[in-house]
Amino acid sequence: MDVSGQIKQLSWLESSQQWSLIWSEPRQQCEVYAFCGAFGSCDKKALPFCNCLTGFEPKSESDWNLSDFSKGCKRKTQLQCEDPTLAHGKSDKFLEMPNIKLPLHEQSMTVGNISECESTCLKNCSCNAYAYGSGGCKVWMGDVLDLKLLTEDSSNGGTIYIRLVASEFSSSSNKSGIIIGAVVGTVGVVLCLVVFAMLRWRRGTMRNPKAVEGREALRTEVSTIGTIQHVNVVRLRGFCSDGARKLLVYDYMPKGSLDAHLFHESNSDALDWKTRYQIALGTARGLVYLHKKCRDCIIHCDIKPVNILLDAEFCPKVADFGLAKLVRQDFSRVLTTMRGTRGYLAPEWILGMAITAKADVYSYGMMLLEIVSGRRNSQQSEDGKVRFIPTWAASLITEGGNVLSLLLLDPRLNGVAPVEEISRLRKVLLVYPRC
């Protein structure tokens, strides 16, 4: 069992002298007991998974921001059970939470109805929650652990009532307050409608919007790049998930994606060698950061020109982490059923074997070949046959040395490229298929 609370089975790989993850139980973090700590609820469909209950806040905001929820949550306002007068003459109340997997370590009470069950809990300052159903009255003393939110159609769900200070509940007993609130609310609605109309009038439209499909892809994208920052990794500014509508907001990249600059026939718009070389180096730096410098090794799994964005200065940014996999730095391999893009997949991935960060290196090598040559790694000739560019390039690289390797250059460059830089990239192209 490791620090995540999961039991994991590992296999020692003699070839790499490293451990490989084979199996883990439980598979989902919300299934780990008390994963969100005291007074925290776990929702496997939310981001982040853990949230403090209403009336509570994280005990350690810094740990919470690092996705360490083990310390749980604390009350924003202490209970007034010992002296109801401190809450303006009102005792503590209970917040109803339906569709909850009831926690363990409850105490059963013999009562006649739900009101008596509530009263029983209210009389004990140590009682923080109760539930009443077919199993009778159940109360929880001290910290309430292992709360899990379930779907509405789940048969395992129940309703739990969490104890809160009276001030957490709005009062409706003052008639004049209701009238004032109604007037203020009406005025507020009118103002909101006016503001909404103005915003609609002034609102622009995003250029070339791209739909982000699937809750899992959105969660992967946000959890992967939401907490990292590097000059060669695209920066996530925010996200929104509203039903089927899912949006990710990044820094605007005025030069678009790399493929738009590589695969066109115009000589005037072709990238010069210096720009291509800097794009190759910047992308490599971004991958090194993802693989080595983050707390968890991030395997992108879909490196290709369309996923390299360019800012106004043609600085490359690795983007689109929808297929990314997180691997702890002390592990080396991960099994995945996700599919990348044909032409960039490492051989071990095609064979269904566990992949490592080297899969990104292979994809990078294929992309590097496209950066140098200005050709897609596979092309269909006039006779209908598919020409695999890496096969042709391999003979030039291995047999011809630096001089013959110049034949790989995009014809639009007219052979203009420093020999020492060609030599450096040639070494990378020789190595990446063997990674």
Catalytic residue from among 92, 259, 272, 302: 302
CA distance 248 to 210: 9
CA distance 251 to 320: 13
Pick from 75, 147, 140: nearest CA to 109: 140
**Residues near 316 by Cβ (< 8 Å), separated by ≥ 6?**
232, 258, 278, 279, 282, 283, 286, 308, 309, 310
- Dig out the tokens for 356 from the structure: 């490592």
C-beta of residue 33 within 8 angstroms of C-beta of residue 5? yes
Contact call for residues 146 and 103 (beta carbons, < 8 A): yes
* 302 catalytically annotated: yes
- Neighbouring CB atoms inside 10 A of 294's CB total 17
- Length of the chain as a residue count: 435
Spell out the alpha helix ranges (H) of 145-258: 175-202, 215-225
Residues noted as catalytic: 302
